[in-house]
């Protein structure tokens, strides 16, 4: 029984922490809704500040519903008996120790979770994003995206799943080590094919045509000694008016991608500064460090799974009679986030540290004042709050609060 209680305690602690942080965020943002913080007073109008506050509160409310829904689904699947029921159902078609039974079980649970999350996702895009003027997506495009996403997920995911399940059965007690090696190799493979094969299925990429901007960017790349497979503008505006810039891929396949929304809203010098920040992530090895960290983390998790999968109590205390290795993998994928949730602040801290470093890199290789101007515009356009709850921000945010980032940029 002890493990049942440990699981319930983790679920309870993680869920109540999530709810508590959301409520703090709502309260804090509301309390600061009345006035634009001093350092932004000249650049962000009160109406935009209030819109950002309302948008943030609405997103936090959605987060609360999502948290409760997730906890209910997890309980229903495990102690509620839904997983056992699905497993029994699968046994009518496949032998319980076969690869196909395991694959069918895992895929059906993933599909079920996706389907249960769908109404909230629709509400987020077509009600919340719509109301705040960010949504550019039609219901038709949403359905096409969903089907394409399922097809891509099936093509890329099902062979991997079958390989993992086969290794679990055939590779002996060290199967978890082989599975880890496969996951590492697969993540590298995905990084390589993603920009060239997967992303074009969802978006159009065209070469940057703005000659002034292109010249600035070429000069920046030359200055920083950066080689890439080209500079592209992506039609992000088909789905949303939120703007962004990013790198995709790595090694020789890396390309620089700017959202069309970013190019149309920012001045060339501001785009250059944003790009210099992104280059900073690359040059300072943040991408490689992030990958190494996630590989280390998945190594630890698989080590734990390898030990748990051999213990009958792991299945029984989570409400399962069927103790197969695929079931162990599935249970682990469902239950582990309730434990790893408490590592989140460390991950966020690592990410914010990298953001400051990339900002310093941008200040050295482009103009810090232009980056500040770009950030203010992006915060304004994306209705990102300038006054997040400090604890909520420390727990979740991958980027430091605007005020802190800008204060540091002004002193470098």
Catalytic residue positions, numbered:
278, 359
Q: How far is the CB of 62 from Zn ion (least distance, A)?
A: 25
Which residue number, 380 or 405, has a Cβ lying nearer to Zn ion? 405
The 313-352 contact track toward Zn ion, x by CB under 5 A, reads ----------------------------------------
The 42-81 contact track toward Zn ion, x by CB under 5 A, reads ----------------------------------------
Q: What is the largest CA-CA distance in the chain?
A: 69
Residue 392, Ramachandran bin (φ over 0: left; ψ between -120 and 50: alpha; else beta): alpha
- How many residues sit in the footprint of Zn ion (CB under 5 A)? 2
Which residue number, 355 or 389, has a Cβ lying nearer to Zn ion? 355
Q: How far is the CB of 286 from Zn ion (least distance, A)?
A: 8
Q: Which two tokens stand for residue 168?
A: 């679990």
Q: Which two tokens stand for residue 383?
A: 């209705």
Q: How far is the CB of 364 from Zn ion (least distance, A)?
A: 15
Interface segment toward Zn ion; rule CB under 5 A; list 69-77, 92-100, 268-276, 353-361: 353-361
Q: How far is the CB of 366 from Zn ion (least distance, A)?
A: 14
Which residue number, 73 or 271, has a Cβ lying nearer to Zn ion? 271
Which residue number, 109 or 274, has a Cβ lying nearer to Zn ion? 274
Question: Per residue in 6-44, is it b (16+ CB within 10 Å) or e — as a string?
Answer: ebeebbeebbeebeebbebbbebbeebbeebeeebeeeb
The 356-395 contact track toward Zn ion, x by CB under 5 A, reads --x-------------------------------------
Which residue number, 157 or 290, has a Cβ lying nearer to Zn ion? 290
The residue ranges that bind Zn ion (CB under 5 A) are: 355, 358
């Amino acid at each position: 029984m002890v493990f049942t209680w440990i699981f319930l305690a983790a679920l309870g602690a993680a869920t109540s922490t999530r709810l508590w942080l959301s409520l703090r965020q709502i309260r804090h943002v509301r309390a600061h809704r009345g006035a634009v913080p001093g350092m932004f007073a000249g650049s962000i109008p009160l109406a935009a500040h209030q819109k950002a506050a309302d948008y943030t509160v609405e997103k936090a409310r959605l987060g609360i519903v999502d948290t409760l829904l997730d906890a209910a689904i997890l309980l229903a699947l495990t102690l509620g008996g839904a997983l056992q029921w699905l497993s029994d159902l699968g046994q009518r078609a496949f032998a319980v120790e076969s690869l196909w039974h395991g694959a069918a079980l895992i895929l059906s649970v993933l599909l079920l979770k996706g389907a249960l999350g769908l109404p909230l996702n629709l509400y987020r895009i077509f009600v919340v994003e719509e109301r705040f003027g960010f949504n550019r997506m039609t219901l038709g495009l949403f359905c096409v995206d969903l089907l394409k996403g399922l097809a891509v997920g099936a093509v890329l995911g099902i062979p991997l799943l079958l390989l993992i399940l086969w290794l679990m059965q055939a590779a002996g007690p060290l199967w978890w080590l082989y599975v880890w090696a496969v996951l590492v190799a697969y993540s590298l493979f995905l990084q390589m094919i993603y920009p060239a094969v997967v992303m074009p299925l969802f978006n159009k990429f065209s070469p940057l045509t703005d000659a002034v901007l292109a010249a600035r960017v070429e000069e920046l790349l030359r200055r920083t000694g950066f080689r890439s497979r080209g500079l592209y503008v992506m039609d992000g505006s088909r789905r949303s008016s939120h703007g962004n810039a990013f790198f995709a891929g790595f090694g020789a396949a890396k390309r620089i991608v700017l959202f069309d929304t970013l190019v149309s809203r920012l001045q060339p010098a501001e785009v250059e500064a944003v790009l210099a920040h992104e280059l900073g992530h690359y040059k300072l090895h943040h991408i490689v460090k992030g990958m190494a960290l996630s590989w280390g983390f998945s190594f630890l998790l698989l080590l734990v799974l390898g030990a748990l999968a051999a213990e009958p109590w792991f299945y029984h205390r989570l409400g399962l009679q069927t103790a197969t290795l695929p079931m162990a993998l599935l249970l682990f994928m469902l239950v582990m986030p309730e434990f790893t949730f408490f590592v989140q602040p460390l991950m966020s801290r690592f990410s914010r540290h990298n953001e400051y470093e990339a900002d310093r890199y941008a200040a050295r290789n482009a103009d810090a004042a232009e980056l500040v101007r770009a950030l203010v515009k992006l915060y304004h356009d994306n209705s990102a709050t300038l006054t997040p709850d400090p604890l909520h921000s420390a727990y979740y945010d991958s980027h430091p609060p605007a005020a802190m980032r800008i204060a540091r940029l002004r002193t470098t």
